[in-house]
Amino acid sequence: MAPRNGNQRLGVAAKQVAEHASALTRLEVELAQLELKQKAQSLGLGLGLGAGAAVMALYGLGFLLATAAAALALVVDWWLALLIVTGVLFLVAGIAAALASNRLRNATPPVPEQAIEEAKLTTEAIKH
């Protein structure tokens, strides 16, 4: 009866290994989904900030042209105010562009790198 008891223990151990492998696989899939979702959100935010930066730069160009026109037409104090507004718009556009660049860099490539690495490590651990 001792051999039969040993076979039962081996069967239980094999079942536990299979259950753990299944649980690990589910967790790795969940990690991949979360990572892709996070990267997609970052990509969307980066694209939105980039579009906002482009709009601000366009407004900045409009104000720069208005400033030049005001400076040529009338040499008075209000053109200086327009020039200051132009500078502020370009500053805001620069900050938004830097934020967009950072977000886009973090979101690409859109593959679940951590999940893939974990899957490779798990596969290696199971093989050995």
Q: Is the pLDDT reported for residue 123 higher than 60?
A: yes
Q: Count structural domains, the chain.
A: 1
Q: Is the pLDDT reported for residue 6 higher than 80?
A: no
The percentage of the chain sitting over the pLDDT mark of 70, rounded to a whole number, equals 91
At 95-116, the pLDDT tens digits run 999 999 888 888 777 777 777 8
**Top-confidence residue, 20 or 51:** 51
**CA-to-CA distance for 65 and 72, rounded, in angstroms?**
11
DSSP 54-113: HHHHHHHHHHHHHHHHHHHH--STHHHHHHHHHHHHHHHHHHHHHHHHHHHHHH-S-S-H
* Residue-level pLDDT at 38: 87
- Taking the whole predicted model, whether its pTM rises above 0.85 is answered as no
Summary mean pLDDT of the chain:
82
Q: What is the DSSP letter of 2?
A: H
Q: How confident is the model at residue 1 (pLDDT cuts 50, 70, 90)?
A: very low
Which is it for the CA torsion 95, 97, 100, 101, positive or negative? negative
* Residue-level pLDDT at 3: 54
pLDDT average, residue stretch 10-26:
84
| CB-CB neighbours of 93 under 10 Å | 20
**Residue numbers of the domain that contains 24:** 2-127
